[in-house]
Chains A and B, each alone.
With several copies, the nearest count.
Chain A
Amino acid sequence: MTVLDTPAWRPRTDAAPLLPDPEPYRLLGTPDAARLDAALLRSLYGQLVRGRRYNQQATALTKQGRLAVYPSSTGQEAGEIAAALALRPQDWLFPSYRDTLAVVARGVDPVEALTLLRGDWHTGYDPRACRVAPLSTPLATQLPHAVGLAHAARLRGDDVAALAMVGDGGTSEGDFHEALNFAAVWQAPVVFLVQNNGFAISVPLAKQTAAPTLAHKAVGYGMPGRLVDGNDAAAMHEVLTAAMDRARSGGGPTLVEAVTYRIDAHTNADDATRYREDDEVAAWRTHDPVTLMECELTARGLLDDALRTGAADDAEAMAADLRERMHATPVLDPMDLFAHVYAEPTPQLREQRAQLQAELEAEHRS
């Protein structure tokens, strides 16, 4: 026995339990699905149908010039919805720019969720009121925010946990590393959900990482990594809920990798044919999150017309409402540009505000 047995360097954590399963965890279509509550399956189905419709509608709005851009989550609805459902009212969601569906599923008004992408302001909802952070465009930068907020809540003794979303590409950023490390060291009540769709815009996963799986990154921080079929809404719901419960009970952070695929291109502005094969898309269509759920419901004789039409009508209503409200052009006050830079505008900003005011009045007169 040498000094090497001193605590200074000694593993405090056993690696084995941190390692993810070799295959993505699945429930739908497996014997285990039997134990799933029918009501849960029905509500997940409704949410999936609604989510799919939301993506279609938002994409349509870009064609009509009502949105500056839309990064669709078509094909990823299971992850988006499971993330929202894993949260209690007091918990916080930290979405990436991709995740307006999760934000909407969390309960934020779709029009407010789309403000950033419509271009009338950077955030349309009150993050404190909704417990949803602003959509984060700089990749992975929202992850340390989630850690800090969860840590703060814990310091305050509040029963609040955070769930942060990021893509496979985002895992390469330094902020991903620093956030997971802080979370593990502080044992912050936070869950990191990586939606691995196999691409970062045009860059395939093989050029992004050489890791066995992204979930394996968890080991290096001393937190458990879970590998899940990201298109299996039931599996995602179960794993995320368990991870959040673990965080709440002081068990510390978890890294969840959801293996999925985005049927739509990176955004409406992107041309996916430049970097991926149609048959790859076709292959993934056979593993569609909505279809997977439908099969399960059918197998269990739960997919009656009531459920089907109920979900479809609900989705249509949401889409119609969104369409209509997004067609009204927002009324904006240019003076808002100066209103929120600081609590009190600086002398310089007051001057610039006056200048713009004068210009607008001149414009108006002429």
Chain B
Amino acid sequence: MTTAATAAGRTAAPARKPATMAQALNQALRDSLAADPAVHVLGEDVGALGGVFRITDGLTQEFGEDRCTDTPLAEAGILGTAVGMAMYGLRPVVEMQFDAFAYPAFEQLVSHVARMRNRTRGALPLPITVRIPYGGGIGGVEHHSDSSEAYYLHTPGLHVVTPATVEDAYGLLRASIASDDPVIFLEPKRLYWSKADWSPQEPSEVAPIGRAAVRRPGRTATLITYGPSLPVCLEAAEAAEEEGWDLGVVDLRSLVPFDEETVAAVVRGTGRAVVVHESSGFGGAGAEIAARITERCFHHLEAPVLRVAGFDIPYPPPMLERHHLPGVDRILDTVGRLQWEEG
């Protein structure tokens, strides 16, 4: 993994300067294409247009249509042909244009992508990366704001990765493409334009897939989150200081594999935890995280692990989404319910 994230074979990259997550993802694709001739990018509008979010901008121009290919408009076909390409030894990187438009590929994903290695006792690993822009907060109309991670993390055979920072966007995408296992790479679309001082020249800072990052230490309670909700949690932690709360924030980065050790260690330290994510709460990632932490840390818990998640409703229309998305207030209200007296 770490080698995967090294600068190997990369064309001279710019020095540390403000970059957006979109730019970091684009650089990761460019570097992966340059580093390994087996890497092929395919999807709808990834060519001349550079993708609707411009994540593949310039790749076809630089590497040619065979390396970055506009496909016909059919997601099962895209993923299904990617399976065949991987069977032949290529490393397809598939772009699904939006979260909800990955659903047509669900059978290929669950019945083949996730199972081919196991089915063949390891003879046919499928090093496929499926890039899916996910989540809301961008005023998208119906079907453009789904958080579908729970479907994927419940599917054995898939790795499920989601970056929350510019640096991780680069490093985790490089690592995902270099992985010999299929990776669902969930891109928090509302963080595409988030900026950070970043240089692709320091990929060594990037953790391998499967390691959570403690984004903020805290003694009072721990916020456990990932992807689009990280900035919200950090903001909440800031605001909590006024209440005299010292909240820690853990960024999971990878839902599968799940970094139980790190999360459990942090929660044992605080005895209180809240899991925060955008997707509907019922049967969401937060349920697994809460259940697992409780199994591991029961006697360290001063209060039940609570969850702040999207409501159990279809994603709202743009004008109402702010009520659905976990915000600072809802997070702090929940922290306030961590039974401070009884603890």
Report whether chain A binds chain B. Answer: yes
* Interface stretch of the complex, out of B79-87, B167-175, B221-229, B237-245: B79-87
Residue of B nearest to A203 (CB): B70
Instruction: Name which residue of chain A comes closest to B142, CB basis.
Output: A122
Q: Tell me the chain A residues, 211-252 only, with Cβ under 8 Å from chain B.
A: none
Among the 9-residue stretches B20-28, B41-49, B184-192, B271-279, the one with 4 or more Cβ atoms under 8 Å from chain A is: B41-49
Within the assembled complex, what's the spacing in Å between the Cα atoms of A259 and B108?
A: 29
Quick one: CB contact mask for B202-213 with A, threshold 8 Å, 1 for yes?
000000001000
Smallest Cβ-Cβ distance to A352: which chain B residue: B311
Closest-CB distance, B89 to chain A (whole angstroms) = 7
In the docked arrangement, what's the CA distance between A271 and B181, Å?
36
Contact segment of B11-19, B193-201, B298-306, B314-322: B314-322
Contact A201 B49 (CB under 8 A): yes
A323 located at the interface, meaning its Cβ lies under 8 Å from any Cβ of chain B in the complex:
no
Which residue from B77, B120, B317 sits with its C-beta under 8 Å from A182?
B77
State the Cβ distance, A67 to closest chain B Cβ, in Å. Answer: 10
In the complex the two chains form, is A181's CB within 8 Å of B258's CB?
no
Chain A contact residue count (CB 8 A cutoff) = 76
The answer, among B49, B112, B121, for a CB contact under 8 Å with A123, is: B121
Question: Would you call B50 and A201 a contact (CB within 8 A)?
Answer: no
What secondary structure prevails in chain A residues at the interface with B? Answer: helix
Q: How far is the CA of A143 from the CA of B329 in the complex (A)?
A: 43
Q: Which residues of A contact B256 (CB under 8 A)?
A: 346
Which residues of chain B have C-beta atoms less than 8 A from A120's C-beta? Answer: 317, 319-320
Q: Which residue of A lies closest to B182 (CB)?
A: A342
Among A21-29, A149-157, A308-316, the stretch that binds chain B is A149-157
- State whether the Cβ of A282 lies closer than 8 Å to any Cβ in chain B: no
A109 at the B interface (CB under 8 A): no
A134 on interface, CB distance cutoff 8 Å: yes
In the complex, the answer to whether B44 meets A201 with C-beta atoms within 8 Å is yes
Whole-angstrom distance between the alpha carbons of A156 and B85 in the complex? 11
C-alpha gap A348/B295 in the complex (Å) = 13
> Which residues 112-140 of B have a CB within 8 angstroms of A?
112, 115-125, 139-140
**Could you give 25 example pairs across A and B, Cβ below 8 Å?**
A68-B141, A127-B120, A134-B124, A138-B100, A141-B107, A141-B111, A144-B79, A145-B81, A145-B112, A148-B84, A149-B87, A182-B77, A200-B73, A203-B72, A275-B48, A334-B323, A337-B316, A340-B118, A340-B122, A346-B257, A346-B312, A347-B258, A347-B260, A352-B313, A359-B329
Task: Tell me the B residues contacting A by CB distance below 8 Å.
Answer: 40, 44-45, 47-50, 52, 66, 70-74, 76-77, 79-90, 92, 100-101, 103-104, 107-108, 111-112, 115-125, 139-144, 156-157, 159, 179-181, 210, 256-261, 282, 311-314, 316-320, 323-324, 329-330, 333
